[in-house]
Amino acid sequence: MLEMTTDGVPQELRPSARQLKNMRPCQQSKALQGISVDSIGQLQVFLEKPPECIRVYTEHVICDPARVCIPFSCNALDDLLADVHLTCWVCDFTFKVSAEGLCLGCIGPLGLVLSESGPTMRMIPAFFVVCNAEDEESTEVALRLFFDSMRARGVELTDGFCDCACLQASLQFLRKEGYRVYMHRCLQHVKTNVKDAAGKHDRIHGRTRLENKELLSFIVQWLEFSAFLCDDIQFHTFWTSILQRMSANEVETDFNEPVMAEYLQRNIFDCSGWGSC
């Protein structure tokens, strides 16, 4: 508004106070593309002489305004990784770790540690990736470094835990490289995805996916309960019954929520081996 006033834009062509108040910040952020030259310069200075405690994998480094991918690890963790032979691992990304909105990805083995309050899960951060997006390329760099490192130590990885984005990239990497790893979706991310999806409007009829809001808390409880079932048969039986009741409206005990049931089948569960499901 100040620039319009300075430039002499007529009053009738200036936006109203209401328009300015309701302008969404995302409309401005979409116009910003790439990383600033100043930030790229600082990253390049870091790459030329990283701290002695940091090991940068230069063969995978990309540092330009269009794309950033800087994988590194901490030398102090080498001895710790050599002493443990954990076969489970986790991979995740943290968003907006800088003014430029860069992401920080991390991957490493995890296991149970006995504390005073009982067993707790702990993860060893083996490799990090600074990148401009949680995309397949950045995730694959972290996966390749981690898997090569553990294979060199004679550790055969068996189970991986990821959120939605990392899971898809991990599956692509595992298929391409021929690794046999059982992948799990992070329970906390699953619950968050379901809660967000339940309130979104369906593109076909315009109503929210889950019309009966009271059912949401039960779906979350079912997700938590089924995550600890002993085997796949129990999991299959449990959710097949729920999804059938959610899709149907023939009797009073049916939930009549077919849109939400379809979302769960397409985005949360792997129904490829469920027959009728």
Domain check: are 117 and 228 in the same one? no
Residues 142 and 229 in one domain: no
pLDDT at 72 over 90: yes
Domain with 52, as residue range(s), is 37-184
What region, left, alpha or beta, does residue 231 occupy, with left being phi > 0 and alpha being psi -120 to 50 degrees?
A: beta
Query: What confidence score (pLDDT) does residue 25 get?
Result: 53
Mean pLDDT value across the chain: 87
Distance (Å, rounded) from C-alpha 199 to C-alpha 218?
15
Q: What is the pLDDT of residue 74?
A: 94
With bands split at pLDDT 50, 70 and 90, how would you rate the model's confidence at 83? Answer: confident
Strand ranges for the chain from DSSP E: 54-56, 62-64, 67-74, 88-94, 103-115, 118-123, 127-131, 159-162, 182-185
Give the pLDDT score at 104: 94
Total domains in the chain come to: 2
The pLDDT tens digits of the residues spanning 139-186 come to 999 999 999 999 999 999 999 999 878 888 999 999 999 999 999 888
Contact 182, 110 (CB under 8 A): no
Asked if residue 10 is part of any domain, the answer here is no
Classify residue 124: in a domain, yes or no: yes
Residues 112 and 167 in one domain: yes
Largest distance between two CA atoms of the chain? 73
Tell me, what's the pLDDT at 27? Answer: 39
- How many helices (H) does the chain have, and how many strands (E)? 11, 9
- Residue 28 binned pLDDT confidence (cut-offs 50, 70, 90): very low
Residue 123 sits in the same domain as residue 249: no
